[in-house]
Structure 1
Amino acid sequence: MAAPSFSLSDFRSALLRLLPTGPIWSREPGSLPYLIAAVWAPTFQRNGDRASNLLADAFPSTAVELLPEWESTLGLPDPCAGTSPTIEQRQAQVVARLTDNGGSSIAYYTALAKSLGYDITITQYVPSRFGKTFGGTFGGDAWAYAWKISAPQFTIQQRQFGNAFGEPYATWGNTVLQCEIRTRAPAHTVLLWDYGGQGNPAVLGTFEIDFNTLE
């Protein structure tokens, strides 16, 4: 539920209602109590607006003014977000760091990517062995440590109502996804990236891989 927002007239009326009753305490426009209440009302309105803003900044997914404070406690910003990340990207990184409990399963990496705004699928590989399905990837023991992340070539993140003013209407790219997952990938594994490709990673898609490690 959105925080309440009160106008100048709301605060002026509230101040006037606090006055004692009697003929000298007139609430009529132009009277001295009315003019004094009109002077005080803007201060109360500013305080109310700042309090409402604090409610939004108290949560990392909506923080703007306090976003640097959230980031500094989590070692952000970092190179993962590039040189000029949007407010939404920075918020997503903060949320991902705060909710990250660690893990090494497919479900963990899929959920991590989702928290950053990306939908991915993960494929694991095994070395060639007797009885393996014909037509599959042929390779040595190193394939036991290879896994592929499939994602759209460009993940488009559209602006939504309520986003920070001045941000681009849309951003696209997978830089944050790659960087965040690489920092969490087990050191002994080989990570393949597939943007739009299907099937054998040695044939289709765009990949970053040293095939000498997968002989």
Structure 2
Amino acid sequence: MPKPSFTSADFTSALLGLLPRGRVWPKELSSVHAQAISCYAPTFQRISDSALGLLVDAFPATTVNLLGEWELTLGLPDPCAGISPTFQGRRNQVVARFTNSGGQSIQFFESFALGLGYTVTVTQYAPFRCGQSACGQQLGGEDWFFTWAINSALNTITYFRTGQSAMGDPLASWGNSVLECELSEAKPAHTILQFHYS
């Protein structure tokens, strides 16, 4: 069954139907009384549309009006988002934090970054070992066991997208500060994280 959607005309008709009967209460749409009543109809339509959108708004990936509630629930905004994050960036950060189940695998960090809106690859390092490493590989000490790198574009561009962005957002924004901050917080405490940009 489809969701009921009422127009301003429906609400005007309903409000006129609630009036008492009699010559003093004209119900023709051309009367001054009916035109005055019809001023309330757009407000009722807006409230009705907002109530219909509540199910869509209740999920982090599609939220608009409840984004602030999701941010408070997940401890956002935080310094990772910067001074004035875009609506799309805020929602991406909410979704990434909400769906983050934790992990230490390469796939986890690549999918976590993708949830934030960044396409990355992960490089793991190991110290040079005779008989196992090849000529030309990097030499490294014991710290190389715990070092890994995130490879990404120098400035990831986030474009304004209809249905995703909000009024006031820039048409395009550049930067990887959210990526660096979020992954630095999500990384295992004993590891050394590097960011490599191409």
TM-score range, shorter chain: 0.7 to 0.9
Percent of pairs with identical residues: 51
Cα offsets for 1:122-155 (capped at 9, x unmatched): 0111111122111111112221111111000011
Partner of 1:185: 187
Q: Partner letter of residue 158 of structure 1?
A: Y
Distance (Å, rounded) in 1 between the aligned partners of 2:40 and 2:170: 39
Aligned positions of 1:42-121 closer than 5 A = 42-121=42-121
Task: Give the secondary structure class of the aligned counterpart of 1:98.
Answer: helix
* One-letter amino acid of the structure 2 residue matched with residue 182 of structure 1: S
SS in 2 for 1:89: helix
Q: Distance in 2 between matches of 1:107 and 1:45?
A: 46
Q: Report the AA paired with residue 141 of structure 2.
A: G
Post-superposition offset of 1:110: 0.3
2: CA distance, partners of 1:139 / 1:40: 73
The letter of the residue matching 1:107 is Q
Distance 1:119 1:144 in 2: 24
Query: 1:40 deviation in Å?
Result: 5.5
Aligned partners of 1:32, 1:156: CA distance in 2, in Å? 54
Q: TM-score, normalised by structure 1?
A: 0.76
CA deviation digits over 1:69-122, x for unaligned, max 9? Answer: 111111111111111111111111111111000000000000000000000000
**Unaligned stretches of 5+ residues in structure 2:** 20-25
Structure 1 residue identity aligned to 2:113: A
In the other structure, the counterpart of 1:9 is 9
Q: CA deviation at 1:36?
A: 8.2
Name 1:175's counterpart in structure 2.
Answer: 177
Deviation, structure 1 residue 11: 3.2
Distance in 2 between the 1:77 and 1:175 partners? 14
Instruction: After superposing the two structures, state which structure 1 stretch, 76-85 or 4-13, moved more.
Output: 4-13
Q: How many residues align?
A: 190
Alignment gaps of 5+ in structure 1 = 20-25, 197-215
For the structure 1 residues 40 and 80, does the alpha-carbon distance in structure 2 shift closer, same or farther, using more than 3 Å as the test?
closer
Determine whether 1:195 maps to 2:191. no
Do 1:110 and 1:120's aligned partners in 2 also have CA atoms closer than 8 Å? yes
Distance 2:13 2:51 in 1: 20
Alpha-carbon offset, residue 64 of structure 1 = 3.2
- Matched residue of 1:123: which SS? strand
8 Å Cα contact 1:154-1:174 kept in structure 2: yes
RMSD of aligned residue pairs (Cα, Å): 2.9
Secondary structure of the residue that 1:171 maps to in structure 2?
strand
1:160 paired to 2:161: yes
| Structure 1 Cα separation of the partners of residues 55 and 167 of structure 2 | 18
- After superposition, the Cα gap between the structure-2 partners of 1:154 and 1:33, relative to the gap in structure 1 and judged at 3 Å, is same
138 and 160 in structure 1: CA distance in 2 versus 1, 3 angstrom threshold: same
